[in-house]
Amino acid sequence: MPVKNVLKMGHPILQQVAEPVTEFNSALLDSILVDMYDTMAALDGAGLAAPQIGIQQRIVIFCVEDNPRYPDIKPVPDTVLINPEISFLSDESVLGWEGCLSVPGLRGRVPRCNKIKYRGYDQYGNVIERIAADFHARVVLHEVDHLDGILYPQRMEDMSDFGFEQELFP
């Protein structure tokens, strides 16, 4: 099963800006996505960005159904989003808890814009354009940050809101 090792905070690839995808509907892209989906499922994640498995391309996936890590959260559609662009539709920033497969065991409260528009492509090159709010916006912003070498602790303003999941949510 092509479950990949997820790089952890501190790895240089997680600090770099990933390259745009130039070829859609390709066997290479398909195989990257199979690895990403298998890895996300095995680790029970809500999203994954290609750099987390060492692929420096602007590809993210996300999907929130009934995820035990986020029990009170509305579902987010299962999405492959390539070469994403974000527009901020609100000046309002809201705090919410985040975790990351590259920062295992920890959670932090991160301020994020609560309404965005995102635009990008699926694996076939079809345009995806959506307005997203609340947790959906948070998930997209978190994943897209990975493509620019940013992990959620770098977005935090109050480090007293950062800790181990088992202590914060016993």
Question: Which residues of the shown chain bind Ni ion in the complex (CB under 5 A)?
Answer: 100
Task: Please say which residue, 21 or 48, places its beta carbon nearer to Ni ion.
Answer: 48
> Is there a catalytic annotation at residue 98?
no
Task: Please report the sign of the dihedral spanned by the C-alpha atoms of residue 27, residue 33, residue 39, residue 41.
Answer: negative
Nearest approach in angstroms of CB 102 to Ni ion is: 5
Task: Please say which residue, 59 or 100, places its beta carbon nearer to Ni ion.
Answer: 100
14 with 52: CB under 8 angstroms? yes
Nearest approach in angstroms of CB 49 to Ni ion is: 7
Task: Please say which residue, 100 or 113, places its beta carbon nearer to Ni ion.
Answer: 100
| Residue carrying the six token digits 């498995």 | 53
Q: Which residue is nearest to Ni ion (CB)?
A: 100
120 CB-side CA count, 13 A: 23
Nearest approach in angstroms of CB 125 to Ni ion is: 25
Name the catalytic one among 19, 23, 129, 143: 143
Task: Please report the sign of the dihedral spanned by the C-alpha atoms of residue 116, residue 83, residue 108, residue 46.
Answer: positive
Residues catalogued as catalytic: 143
